[in-house]
Structure 1
Amino acid sequence: MNIYDKAHDLAKAMKDSPEVQEIMAAVKLIDADPQSKEMLDNFRTRQNELQQRMMSGDMPSPEEMEQMEKQFEVLSLNLNIRRLFEAEQRLSVIIQDVNKIIADSLQHLYGHSE
């Protein structure tokens, strides 16, 4: 068994998954609506800026976090954007589950038995 072949199989399975297909469909609909695309792009830019700040140790203020939450709620009123957010969340759960499965399979290396 080649572990890299398995990783490529997993990557293909994820690419072909309903969750990824749903993300692609939602993005296509958002891209077709310039207003939705601009709103989402602005949100993602701001989100990335805050994440970069947090990674460098500069925690955003509660007001900034509240503002992002409100912006997220407003964006979620847009059905296509909400569809995207929900599909991204489902894919995120799958990725977390796969990471846990891999990590759990290696616990015995560090003295933890299952």
Structure 2
Amino acid sequence: MSIYEVAYNLEKAIRQSEEFQRLKKMYEDIQHDETSSRMFNNFRDIQMRLHQKQMTGEEILQEEIEQAQKMAALVQQHDKIAQLMELEQRMSFLIAEVNKIVLKPLEELYNKFE
């Protein structure tokens, strides 16, 4: 089996996983609720703008930080969005763990010569 076949099988396994299915359902529930959807999308937009600025070395203004903090506090109070964010964290942790496993041969190779 080629590495690509294994990767596609892994993609399929992730899509079929309970973690992904729960995340997908919660995301769909939020997108079908106009208020939740608007709030969630605004939060994501703020996150993306700040991340973009950070990656390009642009200065992040204090007002932007305060806006992001206020929005984060607001979405944390919204039950569905808070649940979605928790599910996203779990999925992110799962992907990070898989990434560690996939990169283990390279890590071992380079650590061998240090």
**Which deviates more, 7-16 or 28-37?**
28-37
Aligned CA-pair RMSD:
1.5
> 1: distance between equivalents of 2:28 and 2:108?
44
**Which deviates more, 28-37 or 86-95?**
28-37
Identity level (%): 38
Q: Aligned to 1:105, what secondary structure does the other structure show?
A: helix
**Which residue in the other structure is 1:72 paired with?**
72
**Which residue in the other structure is 2:99 paired with?**
99
The offset of 1:59, in angstroms, is 3.6
Structure 2 runs not aligned, ≥5 long: none
Q: Aligned to 2:57, what secondary structure does the other structure show?
A: coil
**Which residue in the other structure is 1:50 paired with?**
50
User: Greater helix share, 1 or 2?
Assistant: 2
**Which residue in the other structure is 1:34 paired with?**
34
Structure 1 runs not aligned, ≥5 long: none
> 1: distance between equivalents of 2:16 and 2:24?
11
What is the TM-score of this pair, normalised by structure 2? 0.87
Cα offsets for 1:20-51 (capped at 9, x unmatched): 11111111211221111111111111111111
Paired residues for 1:78-97 under 5 Å: 78-97=78-97
Letter of the aligned partner of 2:82 in structure 1? R
**Which residue in the other structure is 1:15 paired with?**
15
**Which residue in the other structure is 1:61 paired with?**
61
> 1: distance between equivalents of 2:109 and 2:25?
42
What is the TM-score of this pair, normalised by structure 1? 0.87
